[in-house]
Amino acid sequence: MSESDYKDKVALITGASRGIGAAVARRLARAGVNLVVNHREGRGRSGKLAEEVCREAESEGVRAIPVPADISSKKSVEELFSQAEEAFGRLDFLVLNAARAPFKPWEKLLERDLRLLVETNFLGNVFCMQQALPRLSRQGGAVVFVSSLGSRFFNQDYPLGTMKAAMESAVKYWAESYWKEGVSVNAVCAGLVKTDSFKTLRMIQPELENMPERFFLSPEEVADIIHYLIGPASRAICGQTLIADKGISNRLHWSTSSG
Ligand SMILES: NC(=O)c1ccc[n+]([C@@H]2O[C@H](COP(=O)([O-])OP(=O)(O)OC[C@H]3O[C@@H](n4cnc5c(N)ncnc54)[C@H](OP(=O)(O)O)[C@@H]3O)[C@@H](O)[C@H]2O)c1
């Protein structure tokens, strides 16, 4: 695939201050894509990390701006996309990566947990899509949603899985609704990745410590798939969720010697 398929294009990545989102930013910058690096917390560690991601991206010769905005707020999402428009005047790719959720079983979810779950992980993505669509359809573009195995397997402390399932379904609806406008929509369903959110899950489920190393993906491996899904080589893929989990979902059982 030629570099010109990516060069001088613009991607907005939600939740790109760290973890998988930051790896996507680095991968796309290497391909020549200008970046809007969204994250939630404007101040403190998150703000510094987002600036660092932008600095690294700019060392690859692209432009990158950090934009703090909580995607669960429609107004903040409108401002996020206005800032992106003002800075770059176009949008080619949207990576719906941000997620924030309580790690606890259903019976313990308070009303505020439920609101966080739905407002960030479903409505937030819908707000982003609504803002992105008129911009992407000007020149054709691509959307990738980052899902997880919780969309299809039960984990009692991971109610986020139900929102991932809803979003995988939305990806199909959006792909069919918007292909005429030249917008491709797909998802990647990643297995286990050692990021900050995984560290939190591991505290609640210490048995994850025993998971053989071969089942873990790196953030960069997820980023490579997203790079592929937004590019022309994936043009025959429409409304699909690609599973990238190092084979963990092939098994009903695993042992510490499964590696
Ligand atoms: N880690 C895994 O094992 C794994 C596996 C499969 C799928 N995934 C999915 O991959 C995506 C990234 O996960 P990760 O583990 O890399 O996450 P992470 O390290 O916890 O980072 C989360 C990122 O999302 C941002 N964010 C959170 N809430 C936000 C909001 N309301 N508005 C805007 N940005 C927000 C955070 O910003 P701040 O820094 O400001 O908080 C941060 O940049 C998520 O969708 C996750 O469900 C993860």
Q: Which residues contact 200 (CB under 8 A, 6 or more apart)?
A: 103
Rounded distance from Cα 180 to ligand 1 centre (Å): 31
Please count the CA atoms within 13 angstroms of the CA of 87 that sit on its side-chain side. 21
Q: Which residues contact 253 (CB under 8 A, 6 or more apart)?
A: none
Would you say the CB of residue 226 lies under 6 angstroms from ligand 1? no
Would you say the CB of residue 72 lies under 6 angstroms from ligand 1? yes
Would you say the CB of residue 53 lies under 6 angstroms from ligand 1? no
Cα-based torsion angle of the residue sequence 115, 120, 126, 130 in order, rounded to the nearest 10 degrees: 120
Question: How far, in Å, CA of 63 to CA of 125, rounded?
Answer: 24
CATH number for the region 3-247 comes to: 3.40.50.720
The pTM is what?
0.98
pLDDT of residue 252: 80
pLDDT of residue 4: 79
| Shortest-distance atom of ligand 1 to CA 217 | 3
Protein residue closest via CA to atom 41 of ligand 1: 40
Question: How far, in Å, CA of 146 to CA of 142, rounded?
Answer: 13
Rounded distance from Cα 197 to ligand 1 centre (Å): 7
- Its sign, for the CA torsion 220, 226, 228, 231, is negative
* Pocket-testing residue among 115, 125, 146, ligand 1, by greatest number of atoms within 8 A of Cβ: 146
Token pair for residue 201? 């899950």
Rounded distance from Cα 176 to ligand 1 centre (Å): 27
Rounded distance from Cα 21 to ligand 1 centre (Å): 7
User: What Rg do the C-alpha atoms of the chain give, in angstroms?
Assistant: 18
Task: Please report, for the chain, the start and end positions of each structural domain, with discontinuous segments joined by +.
Answer: 3-247
Protein residue closest via CA to atom 44 of ligand 1: 99
Tens of pLDDT along the chain (259 residues) come to: 466 789 999 999 999 999 999 999 999 999 999 999 999 998 899 999 999 999 999 999 999 999 999 999 999 999 999 999 999 999 999 999 999 999 999 999 999 999 999 999 999 999 999 999 999 999 999 999 999 999 999 999 999 999 999 999 999 999 999 999 999 999 999 999 999 999 998 898 888 888 999 999 999 999 999 999 999 999 999 999 999 999 999 988 877 776 6
* Pocket-testing residue among 49, 97, 112, 151, ligand 1, by greatest number of atoms within 8 A of Cβ: 97
pLDDT of residue 3: 66
Question: How far, in Å, CA of 190 to CA of 218, rounded?
Answer: 10
* Helix orientation angle between 111-118 and 160-178, rounded to the nearest 10 degrees: 30
120 and 100 Cβ atoms separated by less than 8 Å: yes
Rounded distance from Cα 9 to ligand 1 centre (Å): 24
For residue 239, give the DSSP letter: S
SS3 123: helix
Would you say the CB of residue 196 lies under 6 angstroms from ligand 1? yes
Would you say the CB of residue 86 lies under 6 angstroms from ligand 1? no
226 and 144 Cβ atoms separated by less than 8 Å: yes
pLDDT of residue 259: 63
pLDDT of residue 245: 97
